[in-house]
A and B are shown apart, each in its own frame.
Chain A
Amino acid sequence: MDTLNAGDAIITYNESESKMVFEGSMRLANMKEYDVVSSFLRKSIDDTDDPVVLDLRLLQFLNSSGITTLSLFILSCKKAGKPQIKVLGSESISWQQKSISNFKKLWNDVEIVI
């Protein structure tokens, strides 16, 4: 189990399930600050061929630079052709209800469960 603290958020990667769990509020100042998050995501899934789950259900807030960070991660997986991505969201958190479908617009193979 690998963990990254990013501002008021914690990201945990559970390798046996290929699941990345986001909790808290992630509102870092700019793309440079999000570099640690991008590196953590990339490093965690580097040698997996299994589908990866991004579980956002406990992520209360994500600012626009954070949405760009996840968007670019999804585009890099699309470019590599793997891994498949499944995003779990919550209907009762309005940023997710409003913005989570954007990820599928970038790569139609992304599965969104909300």
Chain B
Amino acid sequence: MLVDTIGDFDIIPDSMPAEGDVSLTVRPIDLIAYWRRCGIMADFAAAFYACAHDQPNVEENTISTIFNELIENATKYSVKRNAEVMIHMMLYDTVLKIEIVNHTPEAHFHKLKKHLTKLTKSADLDELYIRTMAEKSENATDSGIGLLLLIKDYKLKIGAQFKKCEQTGDCKVIIQTYYYIEQ
């Protein structure tokens, strides 16, 4: 197994006891079949946590947005439509950790690694957003700013672990995000 870790991975280890510890498993096929289920799952996750905070409306919108971007990606970039996507959400006082695991084709495995490395090294994400949009205005087949906006506008900390099995060629990505709830 080849393992590669980048960004803010395991800054809160799994062994730490959490309040509001929720695990969900879903198959991409069920979300592809009815795309708005991505948003429904995101809204559920948001409502679950937001009811415990002072600014429920603001936090609910934020958590739903973050979750939605992650679940949309796991759905779009999963290798097999029936392969499971695992989501694990943990609340630590004012930090919400969302971990999402999916299996992906090798092309996206490398694309994500390259993209996250670029994002974590970039000194000016506004400039990167402006440049990305200028490039897309020539030829926009994809969007490509989901993770960028989460880091830039939501101050999300993101880390990822990339696992490739040499025997089977199976590529697995574990993405972790940490959102610091505004006080």
Q: Are A31 and B57 in contact (CB under 8 A)?
A: no
Q: Are B134 and A29 in contact (CB under 8 A)?
A: no
Asked whether A64 is an interface residue with its Cβ less than 8 Å from the other chain, the reply is yes
Q: Are B143 and A68 in contact (CB under 8 A)?
A: yes
Asked whether B180 is an interface residue with its Cβ less than 8 Å from the other chain, the reply is no
How many inter-chain residue pairs (CB < 8 Å) link A and B?
A: 87
Chain A interface, DSSP helix/strand/loop, else mixed: helix
Q: Are A94 and B58 in contact (CB under 8 A)?
A: yes
Q: State in angstroms the CA–CA spacing of A72 and B35 once bound together.
A: 23
Asked whether B38 is an interface residue with its Cβ less than 8 Å from the other chain, the reply is yes
Asked whether A67 is an interface residue with its Cβ less than 8 Å from the other chain, the reply is yes
Asked whether B123 is an interface residue with its Cβ less than 8 Å from the other chain, the reply is no
Asked whether A40 is an interface residue with its Cβ less than 8 Å from the other chain, the reply is no
Interface size on A, residues (CB 8 A): 31
Q: Could you say which of B63-71, B103-111, B167-175 contacts chain A?
A: B63-71
Q: Could you say which of A13-21, A47-55, A99-107 contacts chain B?
A: A99-107
Q: Which residues of B, 35-71, contact A by the 8 Å Cβ criterion? A: 35-36, 38-39, 57-59, 61-62, 64-65, 68-69
0/1 interface trace, chain A 36-70, chain B, CB 8 Å (1 if under): 00000000000000000000000011011101110
Asked whether B83 is an interface residue with its Cβ less than 8 Å from the other chain, the reply is no
**Residue of B64, B72, B140 with highest tally of chain A CB at under 10 A:** B140
Asked whether B118 is an interface residue with its Cβ less than 8 Å from the other chain, the reply is no
Asked whether A4 is an interface residue with its Cβ less than 8 Å from the other chain, the reply is no
0/1 interface trace, chain B 136-168, chain A, CB 8 Å (1 if under): 110011111110010001100000000000000
**CB closest chain-A residue, reference B155:** A98
B78 to chain A, nearest CB (A): 14
**CB closest chain-B residue, reference A98:** B153
15 new A-B contacts at CB < 8 Å, known A27-B39, A98-B62:
A7-B35, A8-B36, A8-B39, A30-B76, A31-B141, A61-B68, A64-B145, A64-B149, A67-B143, A72-B133, A79-B137, A94-B62, A95-B65, A99-B149, A105-B126
Closest 8 pairs between A and B when the two form their complex, measured CB to CB = A64-B146, A68-B143, A94-B61, A65-B143, A98-B153, A94-B62, A75-B137, A94-B58
